Structure 1
Amino acid sequence: MKSDPAAQKTEKVLLPAADEDEVSINTGTAEDLAQIMSGVGLKKAEAIVNYREQNGPFTQIEQLQEVPGIGAALVERNLSRLKL
């Protein structure tokens, strides 16, 4: 009995995924933010999430500067990685 070679093949199915080089500051987890943002570790990322939970969603990326520990230079450096 011959086996069907096509049945033995496994294919990887690539699903359209969110851009791995961008993160939403309104929905990203602290881990996501820390991984994608340059100069942001878990502590600063947690501060972003805490600020968002206390104050509601960000309406502009520049609002990140209102988060303690996040300055204008950090926001500027990460503009291409961030979305609302």
Structure 2
Amino acid sequence: MTKSKLLPLSILLFSATLFNASAVENPSDVQAKTEQVQQAIIDLNNADATQLATLKGVGAKRAQAIIDYREQHGKFTSLQELLEVKGVGNAVLQANQGLIKI
């Protein structure tokens, strides 16, 4: 191969290598992002009123109603049980489907 053809090819290969290296995430960055997502998921059986109030459609009053229900009936055994709390309907449950766990 001539020098005039080799130089552009070399630049292209070098650029592709740099692009590939920058596209790979550091494993610790991936773990940190995973932990952030897991922390964002609220455990209905352990969350306080402040945490519950961050859910979509749940303010301070509904958060307290969830805690009161939990104290009167024990731990939630399913996400569907949240519908038993006064003021919590299907819309609230659906809006928070990926944000809550038991």
Shorter-chain TM-score: which interval? Answer: 0.7 to 0.9
Number of positions where the alignment pairs a residue of Structure 1 with one of Structure 2: 69
Q: Does 1:77 align with 2:95?
A: yes
Q: Which has the larger radius of gyration?
A: 2
State the SS of the aligned residue for 1:19.
helix
**Which of the two has greater helix per residue?**
2
TM-score, normalising length from structure 1?
Answer: 0.75
What is the one-letter code of the residue matched to 1:39?
Answer: G
Percent identity among equivalent residues?
38
State the SS of the aligned residue for 2:46.
coil
| RMSD, matched Cα | 1.7
Q: Does 1:20 align with 2:48?
A: no
Q: Does 1:54 align with 2:72?
A: yes
Q: Which has the higher contact order (CA 8 A, sep 6+)?
A: 1
Residue 73 (structure 1) shift: 1.3
* Cα distance in 1 for residues equivalent to 2:36 and 2:72: 29
Q: Deviations over 1:24-83 (max 9, x none)?
A: 000000111112x11110110000000000000000011100000000111011010001
Unaligned runs of 5+ in 2: 1-31
Following superposition, which runs of at least 4 residues in structure 1 exceed 2 angstroms of deviation?
16-20
